[in-house]
Structure 1
Amino acid sequence: MLIAGFPAGAFQTNCYVVAPAAGEECVVVDPGQDATDGVDELLREHRLKPVAVLLTHGHLDHVWSVAPVCGARDIPAWIHPDDRHLLSDPAAGWSGTSESLFGGLTLSEPDDVRELSDGAVLRLAGLELVVDHTPGHTRGSVSFRLPDDAIMFSGDLLFAGSIGRTDLPGGDHATIMRSLATKCLPLPDDTVVLPGHGPQTTIGRERVANPYLKEAAPHAGPTQGIS
């Protein structure tokens, strides 16, 4: 398995490329602000051919470069339908100062957009990725898991020591707590978490040290054992 990534743009959003090995097909996860050059560099370095872009949610810092990355290679973008509108209306995901923040920036959907659903299994580039709908940061937030729950791309659901903010349009604290309880807590401790921002971590580390994951534990119910 080859996973390489870099923090893109002013938001320092983690963009990843994922492939079975160097020299093969790959998927690109969350190409954010000014990510195109970094993606191109990783593709050249590892001799990869992208076949799809996967989006954990529709916030601008995660989708900024999706249209150019997809358009340059004629590949589809995958996003949950509840966040699809953000591809062409990024201001809808932000609070009242969005116009001044983005300086009149306009985005458009890629030519080929496909919609994700909870529990779907994407078979792309020789990989199998399980889709978990994890609303709370946005209504259409998702995470992606590789087989045997070895790796989780958590987007802005779970960070090292924290979670995604819930004060923007579509965010809701009670909802993100349920997502943490139902989608994160049942995973093995050795599941590696590759978040949308900041360093990687593990479920076990967050189970012990992350105050939000501790708070989510009661929501998991009596059948969700904690290892």
Structure 2
Amino acid sequence: MLIEGFPAQVAGTNCFVVAPGPGEQCVIIDPGYGVSGQLDEILTDNRLHPVAVLLTHGHLDHTFSVLPVCQARDVPAYIHPGDRPALADPWTGLGLPFGAPLFGVQNLTFAEPDDVRALDDHGRLDIAGLSLTVRHAPGHTAGSVVLTLDAADEDVLFAGDVLFAGSIGRTDLPGGSMAAMTESLRTVLLPMPDAVVVCPGHGPRTTIGRERATNPFLRELT
């Protein structure tokens, strides 16, 4: 299994490239601001062929490059319906006036890719030779999801901004809810086995077991 992750130029948002191995089809998860150069390098070095972009939620630091990545390779984008409006209007989800500068850049425009598909709760996504399970995990945003990759040697969780090493995603932006986040942690994440490797939207990788034992937001629920 090939999992390559790197931080975007803004907010340190982790973009992941996932494939069964070099020379195979792949998916791209959360292409944020300024990822094109590193992304192209990973795809070229590993001879990978993207077939889809998967979005854990609709915040701009995770979706900024979704349109150019999808259009350049003629691939679909997958997002939960609860966050789909953010593809064309990222300002509302950030609590900003429509058209306000973002990342210090003026006059930005956004649009959906030509092909946008839904990530539904408990859905199974068999794509690029990978098998992923989708779980709706609202709290950070209304349409946040986590994606579990069933691999031969270990299970991997792409957690977006639901769970970080030692913390969780903020819940104070429009569409966020601490009550919903607590329920997502309790019902979606806590039942997962300790050995599951967590690839978060920001920061280093961790495991469910480590977070269960040390993350204050999970410890108070156990």
Superimposed CA distance per residue, residues 176-216 of structure 1 (whole angstroms, 9 cap, x where no aligned partner): 01001111100111100000000000000000110001123
Give the alignment partner of residue 189 of structure 2, picking from 177, 180, 184: 184
Superimposed CA distance per residue, residues 99-156 of structure 1 (whole angstroms, 9 cap, x where no aligned partner): 2445332211101000110000001000000000000000000010012771100000
**Partner in structure 2 of residue 79 of structure 1:** 79
- For the residues of structure 1 that align with 2:179 and 2:220, how far apart are their CA atoms? 11
**Partner in structure 1 of residue 69 of structure 2:** 69
Check whether the contact 1:13–1:61 (CA below 8 A) recurs between aligned residues: yes
> Which secondary structure does the structure 2 equivalent of 1:216 belong to?
coil
> Which secondary structure does the structure 2 equivalent of 1:38 belong to?
helix
- For the residues of structure 2 that align with 1:17 and 1:2, how far apart are their CA atoms? 8
- For the residues of structure 1 that align with 2:70 and 2:101, how far apart are their CA atoms? 27
Tell me the amino acid that sits aligned with residue 56 of structure 2: T
- For the residues of structure 2 that align with 1:41 and 1:111, how far apart are their CA atoms? 25
- For the residues of structure 2 that align with 1:215 and 1:93, how far apart are their CA atoms? 29
The aligned length equals 217
> Which secondary structure does the structure 1 equivalent of 2:42 belong to?
helix
Percent of aligned pairs with the same residue? 59
> Which secondary structure does the structure 1 equivalent of 2:131 belong to?
strand
> Which structure: greater helix fraction?
1
- For the residues of structure 1 that align with 2:64 and 2:201, how far apart are their CA atoms? 14
- For the residues of structure 2 that align with 1:110 and 1:100, how far apart are their CA atoms? 22
**Partner in structure 2 of residue 17 of structure 1:** 17
Give the alignment partner of residue 200 of structure 1, picking from 205, 212, 215: 205
**Does structure 1 residue 129 correspond to structure 2 residue 132?**
yes
> Which secondary structure does the structure 2 equivalent of 1:146 belong to?
strand
RMSD after superposition: 1.3
Shift of 1:7: 0.1
| Unmatched runs of 5 consecutive residues or more in structure 2 | none
Tell me the amino acid that sits aligned with residue 155 of structure 1: G
**Partner in structure 2 of residue 114 of structure 1:** 117
| Unmatched runs of 5 consecutive residues or more in structure 1 | 218-227
Shift of 1:93: 1.0
- For the residues of structure 1 that align with 2:97 and 2:74, how far apart are their CA atoms? 34
Runs ≥4 residues deviating over 6 A: none
The TM-score normalised by the length of structure 1 is 0.92
**Does structure 1 residue 210 correspond to structure 2 residue 215?**
yes
Check whether the contact 2:102–2:108 (CA below 8 A) recurs between aligned residues: no
**Partner in structure 2 of residue 167 of structure 1:** 172
- For the residues of structure 2 that align with 1:104 and 1:174, how far apart are their CA atoms? 36
- For the residues of structure 2 that align with 1:105 and 1:90, how far apart are their CA atoms? 10
Check whether the contact 1:178–1:216 (CA below 8 A) recurs between aligned residues: no
The TM-score normalised by the length of structure 2 is 0.95
Check whether the contact 1:2–1:21 (CA below 8 A) recurs between aligned residues: yes
